[in-house]
Amino acid sequence: MLFLIQVVAAGCATLPFQRQERTSIITPAMRVAAIREIGLRAAEADDEEQRRLTEQLAMQIRTEPDPLVRLAIQESIAEFSTPVAEQVLLAGLQDEDLDVRIACCQRLGARGDNAVVPALRGVLEKQDDLDARLAAIDALGGIRTTESVAALAVAVQDRDPAMQYAAVQSLKAVSGQDLGNDVAAWREYATAERPVISVASKKKNLLPF
């Protein structure tokens, strides 16, 4: 009986140390929260701070195995306006995780940079997952240029009705034209040598919001 009491007492004596070890473990949720805090700093960061923070996130994502953490990195880095941020988002279009690819499409479309159109077109032409392709179509709808129209021509000619419908909605947003929901008419428009984009539609793309 004395031996048993000694064992229990010894075990209890180690518990505070064990609790301390557990609380020192950095969980994926804690890492995600820390990354999102970085994204919140983007609005007030000067150019040098933006560069430093985006390079920090870019380094982290290169070796990050957890898709939820990679998703948080992409969503946070999208808040920054540096070239590195856009490069990381473009690289994310090839991520093995679908949610990450979709998020990168969405964030690139929101940036409205015509330079990302070829990469979004690549999603339409080379990726098989429907959700990723639909996200790319939606992103192209936020980039009002003739290059975006040409990329959307790939989608409006697809046999999948979901692709056709999404392409028509994005073409409406890009072009400022009113061709209704006539897929054939939109195909003709999108494949024209010089598709017309209304002045009003172009001006929308210049708005800072």
What's the confidence (pLDDT) of residue 12? Answer: 42
What's the confidence (pLDDT) of residue 14? Answer: 41
| DSSP H/E element including 55 | helix 47-62
**Domain annotation covers residue 131:** yes
Cβ 105 vs Cβ 92: under 8 Å: no
What's the confidence (pLDDT) of residue 196? Answer: 80
Same domain, yes or no: 135 and 202: yes
What's the confidence (pLDDT) of residue 48? Answer: 95
Kindly report the pTM of this predicted structure.
0.81
Domain encompassing residue 67: 28-92
What's the confidence (pLDDT) of residue 199? Answer: 56
Running along the chain, 209 residues long, what does each successive block of 10 average in pLDDT? 38 43 76 94 93 96 96 97 96 98 97 96 96 98 94 95 96 90 93 76 42
Same domain, yes or no: 123 and 65: no
**Domain annotation covers residue 12:** no
Domain count across the chain? 2
What's the confidence (pLDDT) of residue 206? Answer: 38
**Domain annotation covers residue 42:** yes
**Domain annotation covers residue 48:** yes
What's the confidence (pLDDT) of residue 6? Answer: 41
Which positions ≥6 away from 121 have C-beta within 8 Å?
A: 136, 140, 150, 151, 154
Cβ 81 vs Cβ 108: under 8 Å: no
